[in-house]
Structure formats: C-alpha cells, structure tokens
Amino acid sequence: MLEEPLALDRMFQALSDQSRRGMIDRLGRGPASVTELAQPLAMALPTVMKHLHVLETSGLVLSEKTGRVRTYHLRKEALASVERWIAERKAGWNSTFDRLDQFLAENSEETVVK
C-alpha cells in the first residue's frame, strides 16, 4: 500500500513541470526519440535528458535503445493512476456540493414559508 502513494507522488512531481508535460503531450501522439522531444524546447540536450529521466523514474514513460537512438513511449496505464486519484477527489467534492445544494434548497424553502 505504501508504494502506491509514493508512485503517485513521483508522477505528480514529474507532471509539475511545463516542459515535461509538453513531452507527455507529444508522446501521447506516439513514440519519439530524444531529438524529436528536444526539438521544440529551448534547452540543452543534457537538460532534456534530465527531464526524461524524471519522467521515466516516475513510471510515466519507458525508453528503449536501438543502435544509437533512444526512443520514449508513454505508459498510458500509469496516467490511469493519476486519473483515478483525481476522479476519487472529484466524486468526494461533488458529493459535498450536492449536500450543500440540498441544504440550501431546504433552508430557502423554510425562509419562503415563514
């Protein structure tokens, strides 16, 4: 059970950076090499590699090396953990707002009757 929160923490930390989110967006369209991922970014290749390392360590992406080319792939199932966590929070918030709506509706009816 302890591993799940730690993995989720790593994923959120990895997603906290705009450049890494951009890489995730790009990988959502299909696998890409380091060069392809670095091309739209205004940063040195070693910096891009550090960002990719954070994404891989978090479990959001996988890489494979063929010859001299390292290609990254998005692990869509890893994003499901983030999505599930958000959905659980959203369901709780919606439940709280539904109770508040009900309370306000009941109290506004009492005010009108008086």
- Domains, the chain, ranges and CATH? 3-113 (1.10.10.10)
Matching residue, tokens 């891009």: 48
d(CA 84, CA 8): 11
Q: What pLDDT sits at residue 1?
A: 37
Structure tokens that stand for 76 in this block = 């869509």
pLDDT tens digits, one per residue of 42-77: 999 999 999 999 999 999 999 999 999 999 999 988
| pTM of the predicted structure, to 2 decimals | 0.76
Q: Which three-class secondary structure state does DSSP give residue 106?
A: helix
Structure tokens that stand for 16 in this block = 């906290």
